[in-house]
Structure 1
Amino acid sequence: MLQVPAQITFRGLPHSESVKEHIQEKVDKIQQFCHSIVSCHVVVEFENKNQHRGNLHNTRVTVTVPGKELVSTHNDVEDMYVSIRTAFEDMTRQLESYVQHMQGVKNHQTLIAGKIVRLFNGDGFGFIESDDGTEFYFNANHVSHPAFHKLTVGMPVHFIQEMGHDGPQAHRVKAIEKQAE
């Protein structure tokens, strides 16, 4: 159980009991996975500022665990529920890592080499092709260095593979530094 009740905040859209219940189900699920959660604050925000992309739904999940604050954010143009689901999926991965770390489990995942083949800068995602030809989805939250907006098509990268709902995803994406000759 949370040491304090989950806070759910709506900004730019009316309070909705059904959305609040949906979020509370997600909070209950992560509590079952990680019993050391101290607090959880979820902000669902609606912005109607972008003429080209339309309405923007932002979800930010902030979870406090002993000694650490974990934050997950996701923006989705079309669907608030997709934004909520994706933010909680990312939070679940962060909590898995936290729990493993607290249990002393070392996670030695293999780095995969590839190159960026498509970027959708305005939407914050792209695709990487590994050296064996497999394509991996990634988004701005999965990039460790450099910042997402500095990535370019053709750039060589290293990453760790994780399975998402729609197939393989690249996490901890990092550009490969060119070696001086």
Structure 2
Amino acid sequence: MKVTPEITYRHVEKSPVIDNLVHEKIAKLEHFCDYINSCHITIEKIHDRPRSGSPYRVRIDLTVPPGHELVAQRNPGESIQYEPLDAVIRQTFDAMRQQLAKLTQLQRASEKVGRYEEVPENIGFVTKLFRENGYGFLKTLDGREMYFHRNSVLHHEFDRLEIGTGVHFSPEEGKEGPQASTVKIVDKPGVCAGKASTTIIEPPLDW
């Protein structure tokens, strides 16, 4: 990591046990990506005596070249039984690790075929889906957002897409600007993501 991680505690006592856990988890993130250039972690207590759920919230902000911003946050709600601080920290780092692993996997795959420096825009992540209207948006590895239509997804796999799915595509000029065509899934998309008309990526996955 190029810079020292910034760790902020709010209404939480900084204990050696918690501090050691955080640094241990940071080190594990670096196993997936050794070129993280900023890391900010916020650990805070937002409730003194919650009836259920956890009184703690943990947020991790990372930046990874060439300009990706990754955010993971956990704030267990009322439907979850009381979660101690160490458990919330572990959950948050696990969520960040999944994001980081997916990003680095796609970056390395594109490097292997010699395309990362030449045409990084050909690989991206799905960031918004409007299922009932049949379209969505993706972000390229260099941070640009592009529109795509259901008919542009190969093998009739539009309904298999979900937020964060990695895709390869061909850029083209549309009526309202650049858009993606020939969209092909390049990682495991998982199951069909529900029937909601709009699924919009939250800041934790904003590439």
- TM-score band by shorter chain is 0.5 to 0.7
Letter in 1 for 2:51: H
TM-aligned CA deviation for residue 173 of structure 1:
3.4
Tell me the residue number matched to 1:102.
Answer: 107
Query: Structure 1 segments of 4 or more deviating over 6 A?
Result: none
Tell me the residue number matched to 2:195.
Answer: 175
TM-aligned CA deviation for residue 47 of structure 1:
1.6
Larger strand percent: 1
Tell me the residue number matched to 1:7.
Answer: 6
TM-aligned CA deviation for residue 53 of structure 1:
2.4
Tell me the residue number matched to 2:92.
Answer: 87
1:13, 1:72 → 2: CA distance?
19
Letter in 2 for 1:86: Q
Matches within 5 A, 1:1-181: 2-48=1-47, 51-53=50-52, 55-66=54-65, 67-76=67-76, 77-104=82-109, 144=163, 160-161=189-190, 173-175=193-195
Q: Percent identity?
A: 28
Measured on the aligned residues, the alpha-carbon RMSD in Å equals 2.7
TM-score by length of structure 1 reads: 0.56
1:98, 1:55 → 2: CA distance?
30
Contact 2:60/2:92 (8 A) holds in 1? yes
Letter in 2 for 1:75: N
Change (3 A) 1:54 1:83: closer
Report the count of equivalent residues.
118
Contact 1:48/1:54 (8 A) holds in 2? no
1:34, 1:60 → 2: CA distance?
19
Contact 2:54/2:84 (8 A) holds in 1? no
Q: Which runs of 5+ in 2 are unaligned?
A: 77-81, 111-122, 125-161, 164-187, 198-207
TM-score by length of structure 2 reads: 0.50
Change (3 A) 1:9 1:173: farther
Deviations 1:117-141, CA, capped at 9 Å, x for gaps = xxxxxxxxxxxxxxxxxxxxxxxxx
2:2, 2:31 → 1: CA distance?
14
Q: Which runs of 5+ in 1 are unaligned?
A: 108-142, 145-158, 162-169
Compare relative contact order (CA 8 Å, sep 6+) and give the higher one, 1 or 2: 2
Contact 1:44/1:60 (8 A) holds in 2? yes
Larger radius of gyration: 2
1:99, 1:46 → 2: CA distance?
32
